[in-house]
């Protein structure tokens, strides 16, 4: 399959597909709360706070990774009073830095932190919120990766294989080169993870009991919402670690033999595997 993507600069993939992902997440939450007896309005409230945390966290990690380049730009501006050939002002550079560029794992950590803070502040049960909201993350992320495909960012390695994407007009990906569609593969993987997580929730015999704990924190034993979160983090870390070898861009940075994202994946696995085993023993 060879896909030709033209005129992508006239499309706003992140905006359109981001909205679609959010809407699909809301539809999913409405359906899953009907199965778990958790109040939909409370879940949406936490979902919104988590979404804000995702955006802030993804941007902050991106800025952190880009800090060496940002430092060089600032040094150049201080020394010469301009950036590059002078066609870009410091204001333009700052606006571009803030409007574009996100790192997914920063969004994950930011979203989880916002969820924990919101649950503590408003008195919601954290485990129950983890249980129902976690699958919305890979669902929305799948739409985001489709957006990456349209825009050309996060592109794959060059390939002579049957499955490839060729960009004729992209500000990010190489033009006229056959690239492996790693963004679409990750989107498909996210959908598979989403389906598995929903299946785990719906098939667990103690889901109703877990939902009751949402009203009385700490009052239930049995199925824990943290298990859904840990399974998601485990599956995505493995998926992302493997797919990083098929990416051709170097925006996310490298250290030694692995990318920044792969190092994060390994750290996530070191934490999640023991935590998942412990949670299963406690249930």
For residue range 175-212, list pLDDT tens digits in order.
889 999 999 999 999 999 999 999 999 887 455 544 44
Mean pLDDT for 79-89 is 67
| Neighbouring residues of 268: CB distance < 8 A, sequence distance ≥ 6 | 105, 233, 234, 237
Lowest-confidence range among 105-114, 214-223, 266-275?
A: 214-223
CA pair distance 219, 217, nearest whole angstrom = 6
Q: What is the pLDDT of residue 28?
A: 95
CA pair distance 71, 63, nearest whole angstrom = 11
Total Cβ atoms within 10 A of residue 117? 14
Percent of the chain surpassing pLDDT 90 = 40
**Where are any strands of DSSP class E within the chain?**
2-5, 164-167, 178-179, 254-255, 258-259
The answer to whether 195 and 125 are in contact (CB under 8 A) is: no
Residue owning tokens 């988590």: 50
Strand 254-255 and strand 258-259: the pairing is: antiparallel
Beta bridge partners of 258: 255
Q: Is the pLDDT of residue 248 over 90?
A: no
* pTM to 2 decimal places: 0.83
The answer to whether 154 and 249 are in contact (CB under 8 A) is: yes
Q: Is the pLDDT of residue 260 over 80?
A: yes
139: which 2 tokens?
């669902």
């Amino acid at each position: 399959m060879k896909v030709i993507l033209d005129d992508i600069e006239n499309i706003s993939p992140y905006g359109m597909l981001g909205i679609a992902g959010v809407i699909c997440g809301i539809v999913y939450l409405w359906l899953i709360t009907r199965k778990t007896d958790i109040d939909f309005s409370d879940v949406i409230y936490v979902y919104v706070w988590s979404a804000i945390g995702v955006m802030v966290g993804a941007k902050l990690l991106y800025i952190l990774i880009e800090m060496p380049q940002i430092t060089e730009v600032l040094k150049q501006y201080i020394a010469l009073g301009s950036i590059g050939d002078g066609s870009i002002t410091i204001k333009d550079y700052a606006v571009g830095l803030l409007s574009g560029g996100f790192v997914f794992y920063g969004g994950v950590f930011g979203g989880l932190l916002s969820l924990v803070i919101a649950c503590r502040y408003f008195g919601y049960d954290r485990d129950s919120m983890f249980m129902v909201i976690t699958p919305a993350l890979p669902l929305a992320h799948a739409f985001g990766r489709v957006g990456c495909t349209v825009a050309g960012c996060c592109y794959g390695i060059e390939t002579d294989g049957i499955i490839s994407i060729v960009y004729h007009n992209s500000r990010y990906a190489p033009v006229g080169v056959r690239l492996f569609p790693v963004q679409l593969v990750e989107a498909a993987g996210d959908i598979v993870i989403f389906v598995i997580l929903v299946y785990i929730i719906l098939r667990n015999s103690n889901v109703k009991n877990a939902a009751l704990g949402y009203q009385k924190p700490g009052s239930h034993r049995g199925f824990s919402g943290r298990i859904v979160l840990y399974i998601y983090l485990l599956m995505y870390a493995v998926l992302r670690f493997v797919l990083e070898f098929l990416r051709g861009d170097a925006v996310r940075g490298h250290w030694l033999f692995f990318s920044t994202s792969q190092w994060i994946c390994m750290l996530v696995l070191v934490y999640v595997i023991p935590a998942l085993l412990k949670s299963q023993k406690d249930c």
